[in-house]
């Protein structure tokens, strides 16, 4: 079985991303809720921002993995609610002198249990 990796652009692909998160986080791993959510989708405010990219891996037509990439913006990055990166930002900006650094984060990684032991899925999503 080989996987196909895509940037989720169509309504179906984006819906598959949100469904896959629910499938992995709630149904398979029991996080966030003891029972499936009514819409069977998981999303947060960072999904709605300009420049956000969701990658999705398919096995034929079945979504098996996804990850979200967020570019930095005026509301910050998702992990900044848990860790203050300001010292690192300042240090990197100083090292680059006149060039402005571009920060981003990757998150919302979800890979179905069946595909977690397959290195090619996670490696492809991170590449």
| pLDDT for residue 55 | 95
The DSSP result for 70-101, as a single string, is EE--TT--GGGGT---HHHHHHHHHHTTTSPP
Q: How far apart are CA 125 and CA 40, in angstroms?
A: 23
| pLDDT for residue 1 | 59
What lies within 8 Å, CB to CB, of 62 at 6+ separation is: none
Q: Which one has a higher pLDDT value, 90 or 20?
A: 20
Lowest-pLDDT choice from 67-71, 74-78, 94-98: 94-98
pLDDT tens, position by position, 82-113: 888 888 888 888 888 767 788 899 999 999 99
- Global pTM value: 0.86
Q: How far apart are CA 127 and CA 112, in angstroms?
A: 18
| pLDDT for residue 86 | 84
Tokens of residue 61, six digits:
């037509």
* Coil, helix or strand at residue 14: helix
Q: What angle do CA 74, 41, 55 make, to 5 degrees?
A: 60
Give all domains of the chain, ordered by start, each with its CATH number.
Answer: 4-71+104-126 (3.40.630.30)
């Amino acid at each position: 079985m080989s996987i196909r990796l895509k940037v989720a652009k169509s309504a179906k692909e984006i819906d598959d991303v949100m469904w896959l998160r629910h499938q992995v986080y709630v149904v398979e791993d029991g996080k966030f809720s003891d029972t499936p959510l009514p819409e069977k989708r998981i999303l947060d405010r960072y999904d709605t921002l300009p420049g956000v990219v969701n990658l999705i891996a398919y096995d034929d037509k079945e979504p098996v993995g996804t990850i979200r990439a967020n570019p930095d913006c005026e509301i910050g990055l998702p992990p900044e609610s848990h860790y203050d990166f300001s010292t690192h930002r300042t240090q990197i900006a100083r090292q680059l002198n006149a060039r402005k650094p571009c920060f981003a984060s990757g998150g919302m990684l979800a890979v179905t249990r069946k595909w977690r032991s397959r290195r090619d899925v996670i490696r492809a999503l991170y590449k």
